[in-house]
Amino acid sequence: MEKTTTIGFIGAGNMAYALISGLIDGGFSAQNIKVSDKNATLLSQREIDFGIETFSDNTQLANQCEVIVFAVKPQILATVCKELQAHIIHKPLIISIVAGAKSTSIAHWLGWAPIVRAMPNTPALLGMGATGMMANEAVSAEQKVLTEQILGSVGKCFWVANEQMLDAVTALSGSGPAYFFLMIEAMAHTGTALGLNEETAKQLSIQTALGASMMADQSEGSPYQLRAKVTSKNGTTQAAIESFQNQDFEAVVARAMRSAFDRAQKIGFELDNE
Ligand SMILES: NC(=O)c1ccc[n+]([C@@H]2O[C@H](COP(=O)([O-])OP(=O)(O)OC[C@H]3O[C@@H](n4cnc5c(N)ncnc54)[C@H](OP(=O)(O)O)[C@@H]3O)[C@@H](O)[C@H]2O)c1
């Protein structure tokens, strides 16, 4: 796939910054990337950051782009779409990373067809994101490949079957970084309670999470096999794992993720009825 498609970002904030960095690092030319925002200071900053063209008018940007990425906050999205609907003649591919906003609502506000809805997560800011995405039936195979290039520029991305699965993605990887932060926090606190210096406990906890993730990523074995390998009979790890399991660790995780899933559905419903 050629990297000459013109890609326009509406909203120049954190996620746009991450994606534009990823695209430029991945070989897309700054000449083909554009961004619009209402914040003039931020736009000047993006010109300095990337040498890209910036716009204060979303429709002017949209008229020059083959792909438009919506990177504004959810409460702004309907206004942005209606603004475009009145002024855009061509039908660019829309990639929306806006949390909770359904592709059907976007299609309704815009009156256009090809829409990808995606849910990235915050490690995207470091190029380590995990993104779930779904396409409506108007998105072509070529547009899907292009979407993979754009969202894959900040980490790994995966297609899911339908809109509801994006709520599952939200409950898993969207909110997931916070679950691991909680685990890191709890382990560091306990390390301190067991007598370690606070900073040492924190660093050991962070490095352990990082090392375990990298092992899970790079090893041929499943997480279960990796765990079995480090759990010797009557050893320290077995004592800790048994304690987790006696308190129904899997059920605790399942309940937490179901709460996130239910909340994502409710937020989507509320946005839909705005
Ligand atoms: N951050 C994440 O990890 C993450 C993960 C998944 C999904 N998302 C989604 O990604 C979207 C963007 O998040 P973000 O963290 O990048 O937000 P952000 O940093 O607040 O960026 C949004 C930008 O849009 C600007 N804006 C406001 N009204 C506008 C308009 N009418 N036209 C053009 N630009 C306008 C904002 O300007 P002002 O600040 O002046 O209003 C701001 O600069 C959100 O919908 C969020 O749900 C984020």
How is the chain split into domains, by residue range? 7-161, 176-264
CA angle 93, 95, 97 (to 5 degrees): 170
Residue 111: per-residue pLDDT: 86
Question: CATH topology for 176-264?
Answer: ProC C-terminal domain-like fold (1.10.3730)
Q: In what order do the strands lie in the sheet with 129-135?
A: 53-55, 33-36, 7-10, 67-70, 93-96, 115-119, 129-135, 155-159
Residue 186: per-residue pLDDT: 98
* Ligand 1: centre distance to CA 77 (Å): 10
Render pLDDT for 69-90 as a digit per residue (tens, 0 to 9): 999 998 899 999 999 988 888 8
Instruction: Tell me the residue type at 62.
Output: A
Residue 152 neighbours by CB under 8 Å, 6+ apart: 26
Q: Whose CA is nearest to atom 25 of ligand 1?
A: 11
* Ligand 1: centre distance to CA 11 (Å): 5
* Ligand 1: centre distance to CA 231 (Å): 44
Residue 215: per-residue pLDDT: 95
Residue 2: per-residue pLDDT: 59
Q: Alpha-carbon distance 211 to 102, whole Å?
A: 36
Q: Alpha-carbon distance 148 to 158, whole Å?
A: 8
* Ligand 1: centre distance to CA 172 (Å): 22
* Ligand 1: centre distance to CA 141 (Å): 28
List the pLDDT tens digit at each of the 274 positions of the chain.
457 899 999 999 999 999 999 899 888 899 999 999 999 999 999 999 999 999 999 999 999 999 999 999 988 999 999 999 888 888 899 999 998 889 999 999 998 779 999 999 999 988 999 999 999 999 999 999 999 999 999 999 999 999 989 999 999 999 999 999 999 999 999 999 999 999 999 999 999 999 999 999 999 999 999 999 989 899 999 999 999 999 999 999 999 999 999 998 888 877 776 6
Q: How far is CA 112 from the centre of its chain?
A: 24
Residue 274: per-residue pLDDT: 65
Mutate to test the pocket of ligand 1, among 19, 55, 73 (most ligand atoms within 8 A of CB): 73
**CATH class given for the domain over 7-161:** alpha beta
| Residues near ligand 1 (Cβ within 6 A) | 10-16, 36-39, 42, 58, 71-74, 76, 80, 97-99, 119-122
What is the SS3 assignment for 65? coil
Residue 208 neighbours by CB under 8 Å, 6+ apart: 187
Residue 272: per-residue pLDDT: 72
Q: Per the structure block, which two tokens stand in for 60?
A: 């002017």
- DSSP β-bridge partners for residue 68: 8, 94
Residue 112: per-residue pLDDT: 73
